[in-house]
């Protein structure tokens, strides 16, 4: 089961994701992250994937959808901390990470 923990700061919001991100988990995470975006309106949203143990194409969709959403509000998205197995999926989807 995937979880997300948020750490807001001035103009930024970091979402620390943990667990397995599959179709079901991605739907739940999307609702939680979108609620925080709508409430906080961050200029920078960072998705920290260090705690993610598995991610399929649903996770890619989650990232791309949040990127579009934050971009529509004039903000940016970054992805950080992806473990090696998750980086392979990000590379295939051409998602940049740090």
Asked if residue 97 belongs to a domain, the reply is no
pLDDT given for residue 22 in this prediction: 97
Asked if residue 34 belongs to a domain, the reply is yes
Name the domain count of the chain.
1
Asked if residue 15 belongs to a domain, the reply is yes
pLDDT given for residue 34 in this prediction: 98
Which value, to the nearest 10 degrees, does the dihedral of the CA atoms of residues 27, 82, 85, 87 take?
100
Asked if residue 71 belongs to a domain, the reply is yes
Q: How do residues 9-28 score in pLDDT, each as one tens digit? A: 999 999 999 999 999 999 99
Asked if residue 98 belongs to a domain, the reply is no
pLDDT given for residue 1 in this prediction: 87
Asked if residue 27 belongs to a domain, the reply is yes
Average pLDDT, the chain: 97
27 is in which domain, residue-wise? 3-92
pLDDT given for residue 80 in this prediction: 98
Mean pLDDT of 63-84: 98
39: burial class by Cβ within 10 Å (0-12, 13-18, 19+)?
exposed
Percent of the chain scoring above 90 in pLDDT: 99
Q: What CATH number has the domain bearing residue 24? A: 3.30.750.24
Residue ranges of alpha helices (H) inside the chain are 23-40, 57-72, 84-92
**Cα–Cα distance, 84 to 35 (Å, whole number):** 29
């Amino acid at each position: 089961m995937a979880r997300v923990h948020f750490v807001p700061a001035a103009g930024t919001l970091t979402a620390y994701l943990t667990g397995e991100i599959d179709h079901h988990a991605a739907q739940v995470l999307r609702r939680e992250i979108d609620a925080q975006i709508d409430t906080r309106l961050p200029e920078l949203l960072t998705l920290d994937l260090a705690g993610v143990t598995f991610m399929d194409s649903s996770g890619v969709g989650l990232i791309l959808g949040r990127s579009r959403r934050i971009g529509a509000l004039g903000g940016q998205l970054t992805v950080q901390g992806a473990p090696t197995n998750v980086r392979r999926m990000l590379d295939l989807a051409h998602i940049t990470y740090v």
